[in-house]
Amino acid sequence: MRHPPFTESINSARRSFFDSGAEPRGLVSDTILASWRRCRQQGLVAEVPPSVALVERHQLSERQQQHEVLRRVCRPELEALYASANHAGSIVILTAPDGFILDALGNADFLDKAARVSLRPGAPWSEAATGTNAIGTALIERCAVEVRGGEHYYAPHRVLSCSASPIFDALGQVVGVLDLSGEASVHHLHALGMVQLAVEQIEHRLFESDFDGADIVRIQPDPALLGTAREGMLVFEAHRLVAANRHALRLLGMDWSELGKRRYDELFASALPRPGSVAGMRCQSGDMVHARRDAPRQAGVSSRVSRSTRIKPVRSPAAVFSRELDTAIDRSVRLLNADIPLLLQGETGTGKEVVARELHRRSARAGAPFIAVNCAALPESLIEAELFGYMPGAFTGARRDGAPGLLREADGGTLFLDELGDMPLAMQSRLLRVLQEREVTPLGGTRAHAIDVTVIAATHRDLAAAVERNEFRADLYYRIAQSTLRLPALHEHVDLASLINQLWCALGAEQIPMRLHPRLIDTLACRRWPGNLRQLVGLLRSLMALGDIGATLTDADLPAELQDRKMAALPAAELSGSLDAIELQAIDEAIAGCHGNVAAAARRLGVSRSTIYRRLQNQHD
């Protein structure tokens, strides 16, 4: 059991900090105190349960798929810790680089208890979302952190004792966090050490996966530790250090900021061992280390990144905002900060959600929740329950404890209403009332709950025309569209060739390296892109995944279907008309290109099948 002095000192620290506003120095560690200060500066209220926005199951699956390489590399350690965690009444957790929980394994009873405080897959555990906690604080401090009981910022989290360590790649980027959490009433003496050992193994395996077959130099003062997770690992290109793990940096007295800047002769006074051999090496500091140099499996390739990890996720057009759009985003942020709703308009695939997230990130509510609601994806029968929440037993199949609803989960933050034009008219009326009165009443309930949200809506439909056709409520339109931001379609970019180059670089092509031939760029710039940026980025990622390292890709590397179709530039006459007309044209072309397969056409366009069916139905009504 916990020693009373620890509990007493934490209780004293909380009374001093939260009740008196004093600095409880000596009662908690500097790391915990610094985290408490950050949380207080962000306006988090310790005694109020945090509003944690859990994502839907399909969104969790998407995030898990996005980080599948990390999950696969970590699987052996997760399973090894699972056995210990299950026996000790604990759980082991893997998160994405932003603290989003991807996996949780362990004791079934504690899994259930942890879920009550949202310590479960699909929940964000950054410090901004859930206050002081091992996962979020480890991300900020970039080191292993233990947070026990009352050291957590939020009072409901006092039932937890958590130990977490960030996972770094060979370039010093955080790729995830490993956490071991259990009951606060039990002193988990070796939890932090177990997590750190597991992370060492993961980072070692990740390094070898990322640089499979490369010219890796392994160093260690103790020759018995060469080949283990405790060895230092270095990769040089043209005698310049380009990658290293934590052990190597510690041995050389460096940090990751020096990668790409330090030459081999600045680090070592001895020559490199021959490939495949082990030799003693003297560092410039005078220390001796044992070194083993791998024999590259490909002649002339000094650092070959594995196909599974070399493609960096693009911040879809956020990484390549034009100067005009970036200026417009800054202007829109000022409007949002003044509590003026914003409507994003643009064709399918122009990056409306990406822009919405960027608006939130730059806004005054950046540390609060961002809740995205896809009005087209929610089944009509469930929209009301998902948005407004419901009381226990409100309808058949409802959760035993009810649900707060997405609107209340967005309280204090940003509510993003995507595809608002597809919301049924009956729901539009109730949504308007909520936005006007700033309070929501759950299904089956009688008490209204106040909410404070910034609203961003998005649609690829012409809502003004829809209002004229009585397909969208005029009062809701004028409530939502107090300010508008139109996102340009891909064919509207003045210099599409330059944009293609920027996207290619944002995907990480320069690190592989892999080039696009100028003629291929011209070919892509002349094609029609009904799916806009989503379609173009998808093609670029496919080219990068299938291309060879160091290659220059040409038209011959395009998928056969694109070579056969020879999609020409879109004539200016075909671009005129409303967004609805352009959208219907894109749907018709996608269905024709997929030989009538609506599901395949939906995947190509990045929309749901129900959206296509609804558009076609509206066309014939």
User: For the segment 191-218, what is each residue's pLDDT rounded down to a tens digit?
Assistant: 888 899 899 999 999 998 888 777 889 9
- Residue 207: its pLDDT value, please? 92
460 and 531: one domain? no
pLDDT in tens, 133-143: 999 999 999 99
pLDDT value at 538 more than 60: yes
d(CA 321, CA 327) in angstroms, rounded, equals: 9
SS3 270: coil
475 and 331: one domain? yes
**What is the rounded average pLDDT of the residues 60-68?**
87
407-432 CB burial, b ≥16 within 10 A, e <16: bbbbbbbbbbbbbbbbbeeebbeebb
- Residue 563: its pLDDT value, please? 66
User: Is residue 409 domain-resident?
Assistant: yes
- Residue 56: its pLDDT value, please? 86
CATH of the domain at 166: 3.30.450.40
Which of residues 309, 338, 371 is at a domain's end? 309
Among 151-155, 255-259, 277-281, 548-552, the minimum mean pLDDT is found in 548-552
**What is the rounded average pLDDT of the residues 476-492?**
91
Domain of residue 143 covers 4-208
**What is the rounded average pLDDT of the residues 42-57?**
86
Other Cβ atoms less than 10 A from the Cβ of 535: the count is 21
pLDDT in tens, 16-34: 998 888 888 888 999 999 9
User: Is residue 621 domain-resident?
Assistant: no
Confidence of residue 468 (pLDDT cuts 50, 70, 90): very high
Highest mean pLDDT among 5-19, 501-515, 567-581: 5-19
- Residue 511: its pLDDT value, please? 62
Question: At 505, which helix (H) or strand (E)?
Answer: helix 496-506
**What is the rounded average pLDDT of the residues 570-597?**
59
Q: Full-prediction pTM beyond 0.85?
A: no
229 and 352: one domain? no
552 and 586: one domain? yes
Q: Can you say how many angstroms the Cα of residue 176 is from the centroid of all Cα atoms in its chain?
A: 10
pLDDT value at 526 more than 60: yes
pLDDT in tens, 153-194: 999 999 999 999 999 999 898 999 999 999 888 777 788 888
**What is the rounded average pLDDT of the residues 485-498?**
86
- Residue 551: its pLDDT value, please? 83
pLDDT value at 380 more than 80: no
Contacts of 561 (CB under 8 A, 6+ apart): 593
Q: What is the mean pLDDT of the chain?
A: 82
Contact 461, 583 (CB under 8 A): yes
293 and 369: one domain? no
- Residue 157: its pLDDT value, please? 92
Give CA angle at 288 (285, 294), nearest 5°.
110
Q: HSE (CB half, 13 Å, CA atoms) of 516? A: 28
CATH of the domain at 365: 3.40.50.300
139 and 158: one domain? yes
Confidence of residue 105 (pLDDT cuts 50, 70, 90): confident
Contact 355, 487 (CB under 8 A): yes
Region of 371 on the Ramachandran plot (φ > 0 left; ψ -120 to 50 alpha; else beta) = beta
pLDDT in tens, 438-447: 888 888 888 8
d(CA 138, CA 127) in angstroms, rounded, equals: 9
Confidence of residue 614 (pLDDT cuts 50, 70, 90): low
**What is the rounded average pLDDT of the residues 47-73?**
86
Of 130, 49, 67, 50, the C-alpha closest to 103 is 67
Which of residues 459, 486, 513 is at a domain's end? 486
Contact 103, 95 (CB under 8 A): no
Strands (E), 328-387: 342-345, 370-374
- Residue 304: its pLDDT value, please? 37
598 and 551: one domain? yes
Contact 342, 416 (CB under 8 A): no
pLDDT value at 151 more than 90: yes
- Residue 50: its pLDDT value, please? 85
Q: What total number of domains does the chain contain?
A: 4
The residues pairing with 342 across neighbouring beta strands, listed in sequence order, are 456, 483
Confidence of residue 81 (pLDDT cuts 50, 70, 90): confident
Contact 128, 14 (CB under 8 A): no
pLDDT value at 611 more than 80: no
pLDDT value at 488 more than 70: yes
pLDDT value at 131 more than 90: yes
Confidence of residue 575 (pLDDT cuts 50, 70, 90): very low
User: Is residue 453 domain-resident?
Assistant: yes
Higher pLDDT, 251 or 62: 251
510 and 456: one domain? no
463 and 583: one domain? no
Which of residues 277, 309, 341 is at a domain's end? 309
pLDDT in tens, 274-314: 887 888 999 988 889 999 988 665 433 333 334 333 434 43
pLDDT in tens, 303-352: 333 433 343 443 443 346 777 888 899 999 999 999 999 999 998 888 89
pLDDT over 90 for what percent of the chain? 30
587 and 442: one domain? no
> Using omega within 30 degrees of 0 as the cis cutoff, is the peptide bond preceding 296 cis?
no
- Residue 581: its pLDDT value, please? 64
Higher pLDDT, 535 or 602: 535
User: Is residue 581 domain-resident?
Assistant: yes
515 and 568: one domain? yes
469 and 349: one domain? yes
pLDDT value at 621 more than 60: no
